[in-house]
Structure 1
């Protein structure tokens, strides 16, 4: 037996040699086993008979189209292919096609692989991922709800206290908790449960702070220039807390006595290594007395910036104040 005959005989995949007329010229033992025929029963049989009946008519047309421009088609070409056994049972297959010439003209070498077990494994993996996605979505939903409960408790407590300073502390804590809850709410509503589109999150947070801090009759306009930045949850939460502090401080202190103004938020990818978040206002500006009043918020911002290996600075604008946070460009999971 020649080397090529031995390869044909012992290769683990099913192999058919099919003529231009669609009839099987040769079949190896693996093909007979796969399809449930004797090797002699496969010879001269139309290859279309090994295709499920619902695909049979279309297969003849596909075969003719292939013969008009024969070329090698590898396995794994992204096609959902099925074959049928002698007893009528269908099973998924992957098929390599390669045109060859023999003494009688063009033939097509068909290497057929039963991928039933692979498809089952793929389905088990998809089911497992779906279950994990459902579980993760439920976790984000419950975390969001728990944070909402904490925020509500802080609000209820603040309404029962007459001391202004204590009330202010509780309200600030409530907004901080809400900024964290918004991260999980954004994740819950998105198709990606592992990362946050921070531009969308930042726009929502700014709207919430404007709604909660605006004095009736006061006109404060927001100007948002937000490049897409995708962050992991571990990065989005501290960045959200920082943004909440900066926008809240601008709303509360930059525009005293109900004066109008503008707040500009910029998100940008400066370069492959750094991203930047800038909150600017055209208000009264910062000074030592104002920084003392903001000491807790600024301490929190600086601590969070260090936590994410960022750089924070607060400078005087012309007019107003400029708060700038630089962070290593995130590569979310």
Structure 2
């Protein structure tokens, strides 16, 4: 419900529990700190009134929010809010009378408000939306509630009402009435909770009502404790009864908070609350509750009770009769429902089986018919489309010349629409003296069955169309029809005439041209011989240059390997770790460039290098360093299969060498980690990603402004490639470099 948005706010239930717990703790602290003070009774009364007021505000807010959701729920929660308001006024009146009039507040005006709470609470429960019960459901619910109430009346009368009457016989009549009315009100409250438990409520949130029931039960317990202590004269401010009242009021307050939260949540989720009832779990409560009178009966037999043993026994018998009646009614209902279910199930199975068989047969027949009809329709559709898309004129007519069918080409070729052509006779289109659609032609066709010939017909504009006709006799419904396929040969006739003229002219030109070609052929042969000789000389020169270029790459590779070896030997003659580190990095850089010449030396093309293999060689070389444990540091290489020129390969090899070396040396202080190297081509752009799961770059370090040789070299090489570099520091370090292959003057492919 969008109407909730922006109009309703409420603390979450979790926060409500925290606040309620805080209020309860403060109340307990007040009892502990001020229990010996003269003003303690007034302070305790004020605290209880404050808690009641909070509960009233919570229930009233829940009622206000419920109005948007449902009018019936609004009325019910409104009555509950009024009931809580009366309880608050009672608490405040008690505080006011005891504080300002210095009188004992019992009996007083406060009792009027307290006792009003119970019937109004009962009305609130009654007005909750519910599904009407059937007669048998209503009867069973009445029996269950009766068992609970009779058991409760026996207990209350024996332990509270009866003893309280005897205790207050010497008191004024009003005191006696009020003393008895409180436990009777508790029975009214218990009756309301029983109704709430056995009714099938509609569109009502269950959890708030459950909290409301718990609060009411604690309220009944508090009243019972209060009455029992009043009878014994042991009531004290801040005692068990007051603490129980505070707990009950706070639980009722939380019920209001939970109601608001539930309504807001349901509205946002566009959720409709389904019907719910406690009928199933509550169906066992009467049987548990009826045990109480049995214990009361046993207690009375051995210890004596206010009620006579006979009275309790009669009550137990009445409860047993209601329980037996409930069971008999339940068994009858179960048997009736089982019989109806069995009958319905049997009838349904029969109908389903019969209907299923009918549907299967009908479906099979219909499927066959649909398949056949669809096949025919598809065949007809295909045939019509084929005929209409044919490049030739197709006409079907009888021996009298009446048209039966003509395709689109037949009408278009003669300048008519298809409808106009179908109204004509085939003989209306004949050109006298030139057309063969005559009676004699029909006789010959009937004898031969098929004939191919040339003829002429009129166009709609009066011009003559030369056509080539393929005519065939066909039988249809015992009638002989003629299927004529015609093709407009106007272009062919014109081309034949032109061809005859061209042929004569061509013969003269061929004779003259033949003499010229013989002379030219000799000249061309001489040129071909000269070109073949020059081509052989060029190929020999190219082969010589290729051998020379491969030798150059080989010698450059060997020289770089010698430099790498010299650096390696030099590093063995120094003990300075920094010097060793510099020499090792220089050796790896030289090795990465030497690999390019090595790859070009063994490559089929000297202008391109297989970059995928080159990258794998670089990473493999770095893992062979004595300082690296290949079992702990893994390099995962994912490079597309492509070749690039040496101008791009050299800086890219150095960049990869620097970034991987940087990760190996600085990213894994524990000596263990993973490095992912990806190089993919997207159109003309290459994207290089080097990612490790190590410590990451130091905070505040800008890789583009760092002064170290490695990263400075990377920045310089990225700029040389006209590329861009991005650095991410999250769960390690990621370098992402985008560039395009450098374009130089094209070299000859070798």
TM-score scaled to structure 1, two decimals? Answer: 0.64
Q: Deviations over 1:271-296 (max 9, x none)?
A: 33x11111111112111488699822
**CA gap 1:133/1:310 in 2 versus in 1, 3 angstroms:** same
TM-score scaled to structure 2, two decimals? Answer: 0.30
Does the CA contact (< 8 Å) of 1:227 and 1:269 recur in 2?
A: yes
Distance in 1 (alpha carbons) for counterparts of 2:656 and 2:570: 25
Offset at 1:5? Answer: 2.6
SS across alignment from 2:617: helix
> Does residue 1:169 correspond to 2:169, yes or no?
no
**CA gap 1:2/1:287 in 2 versus in 1, 3 angstroms:** same
- Aligned residues, how many? 236
Does the CA contact (< 8 Å) of 1:13 and 1:113 recur in 2?
A: no
SS across alignment from 1:313: strand
Offset at 1:218? Answer: 4.5
Distance in 2 (alpha carbons) for counterparts of 1:205 and 1:255: 20
Does the CA contact (< 8 Å) of 1:266 and 1:277 recur in 2?
A: yes
Aligned residue in 2 for 1:280: 691
> Does residue 1:267 correspond to 2:688, yes or no?
no
Aligned residue in 2 for 1:4: 510
Aligned residue in 1 for 2:602: 189
Distance in 2 (alpha carbons) for counterparts of 1:313 and 1:166: 31
Aligned residue in 2 for 1:141: 554
**CA gap 1:289/1:177 in 2 versus in 1, 3 angstroms:** farther
Does the CA contact (< 8 Å) of 2:693 and 2:733 recur in 1?
A: yes
**What are the ranges of 5 or more consecutive residues in structure 2 without an aligned counterpart?**
1-506
Aligned residue in 2 for 1:71: none
Distance in 2 (alpha carbons) for counterparts of 1:178 and 1:186: 12
> Does residue 1:325 correspond to 2:733, yes or no?
no
**What are the ranges of 5 or more consecutive residues in structure 1 without an aligned counterpart?**
15-29, 35-93, 95-111
Q: Deviations over 1:148-204 (max 9, x none)?
A: 111111111111112111121111111111111011111111111111121111111
Distance in 1 (alpha carbons) for counterparts of 2:585 and 2:680: 27
> Does residue 1:199 correspond to 2:705, yes or no?
no
- The structure having more radius of gyration, on CA atoms, is 2
**CA gap 1:3/1:178 in 2 versus in 1, 3 angstroms:** same
**CA gap 1:220/1:293 in 2 versus in 1, 3 angstroms:** farther
Offset at 1:266? Answer: 0.6
> Does residue 1:297 correspond to 2:679, yes or no?
no
Distance in 1 (alpha carbons) for counterparts of 2:700 and 2:599: 37
SS across alignment from 1:212: coil
SS across alignment from 2:690: strand
Distance in 1 (alpha carbons) for counterparts of 2:601 and 2:707: 33
Distance in 1 (alpha carbons) for counterparts of 2:627 and 2:580: 17
Aligned residue in 2 for 1:309: 722
Distance in 2 (alpha carbons) for counterparts of 1:209 and 1:217: 10
Offset at 1:228? Answer: 2.4
Distance in 2 (alpha carbons) for counterparts of 1:288 and 1:252: 18
Distance in 1 (alpha carbons) for counterparts of 2:626 and 2:737: 23
Q: Which structure's residues are more often strand, by fraction?
A: 1
Q: CA RMSD in A?
A: 2.7
Distance in 2 (alpha carbons) for counterparts of 1:165 and 1:208: 21
Distance in 1 (alpha carbons) for counterparts of 2:697 and 2:634: 20
Distance in 2 (alpha carbons) for counterparts of 1:249 and 1:213: 16
SS across alignment from 2:550: helix
